Amino acid sequence: MTSYKDLGLVNTREMFKAAMAGKYAIPAYNFNNMEQIQAIIIACVETQSPVILQVSSGARKYANQTLLKYMGQGAVEMMKQTAKEKGLKEIPISLHLDHGDTFELCKSCIDSGFSSVMIDASHYTFEENTRITKEVVEYAHKFDVTVEGELGVLAGIEDEVVAEKSTYTKPEEVIEFVKRTGVDSLAISIGTSHGANKFKPEQCTKNEEGVFIPPPLKFDILKEIEKKIPGFPIVLHGSSSVPVEAVKMINENGGTLKDSVGIPEEQLRKATKSAVCKVNIDSDGRLWMTAAIRKHFNDKPGDFDPRKYLGPARDALVTMYKHKNENVLGSAGKV
């Protein structure tokens, strides 16, 4: 058993309390490899933003669970060194399991040093979701690990998480779920979606410039949920904006991505002015990393040293993460 405290990590409790008071959201960035985690730490130290490093079950299989534990510890050490070199404050870092689907997976992550876990049993009945979530909470809280639950289902694809359509969170269920499970935060469904292909053009309207505009988030549902559980931490999944610049760069350099529309950044910023204190972003990082790598190989097809193309990819990610912290989530300067 490894305690997250021994790795220099923190849980999300104080992060969320500060975020709700300050009307901003903690960035929750998924990572799968070293370059991604380097970019996240550099961007968040330089913008002085707290951060949640997210690991999906798919990423855990890809990167190896033992290696991931030490990557979390390494991220803390890298953060300290970067902050010292730049004369900046150290930032709080949480290591979080994203979309854990079983008690056993959540327990394994807790035992290996994760400071936060999500148990996603939202595809079950309300009663079964409640039972499984409570089981995880009871185990996690023995070790001061925070737990995120979910009510409602997001459409889209992200690793093993697949759903054909969204099921909006029912505000009338949230009080009972939170009370019976003891969760520390709640992921809800109000119109965000997993993956890069969030909305089809036919689901959208066009503005005067011919840009597709997706259906607005259901802020009425969010408002009702806030009334039911005032001051309780709310989480938005599937919140990538799918930047047209990244999609265009990919396609101009040999890619074949379909037209896709993400969540407008102004809507995310509006959401963070409420009880939404954690916003998950994964696909945007994948898109910018792929765009930079494709462009590099198109410009310099003879390169074979991974540092030559992963370096520019890491730089693209740093720029993107800094933009999110400063202009979308409002987390910059909050340490």
Mean pLDDT of 121-140: 96
**Partners of 188 in beta bridges:** 151, 236
**Active-site annotation holds for 98:** yes
Q: What is the pLDDT of residues 7-32, one digit of tens each?
A: 999 999 999 999 999 999 999 999 99
Asked whether the predicted pLDDT for residue 268 surpasses 70, the reply is yes
pLDDT over 90 percentage in the chain: 74
Distance CA 116, CA 145 (A): 5
Among residues 98, 101, 159, 284, which one is catalytic?
Answer: 98
For the chain, the maximum distance between any two Cα atoms, rounded to a whole number of angstroms, is 60
- pLDDT for position 197: 57
Residues in the chain, total = 335
Mean pLDDT of 88-104: 96
Q: Any residues with CB less than 8 A from the CB of 96 and at least 6 apart, and which?
A: 12, 28, 52, 53, 54, 55, 114, 115, 116, 117, 118, 148
Sign, CA dihedral 222-225-231-235, equals negative
- Range of weakest confidence among 64-73, 268-277, 310-319: 64-73
311: left (phi over 0), alpha (psi -120 to 50) or beta: alpha
Mean pLDDT of 292-306: 97
Distance CA 286, CA 160 (A): 16
Burial class (CB in 10 A: 0-12, 13-18, 19+), 122: buried
Domain ranges of the chain: 4-329
Give the pLDDT band of residue 193 (cuts 50, 70, 90): low
Q: Specify the DSSP class assigned to residue 258.
A: P
For the segment(s) 4-329, the CATH number from 3.20.20.70, 3.40.50.2300, 3.30.160.150, 3.40.190.10 is 3.20.20.70
- Range of weakest confidence among 81-85, 108-112, 153-157, 207-211: 153-157
Closest CA to 194 of 246, 220, 151, 155: 155
Q: Any residues with CB less than 8 A from the CB of 71 and at least 6 apart, and which?
A: 34, 37, 63
Report DSSP letters for 217-236, one per residue: P-HHHHHHHHHHSTT--EEE
- Range of weakest confidence among 12-21, 262-271, 279-288: 262-271
Read off the tokens for 288.
């910018």
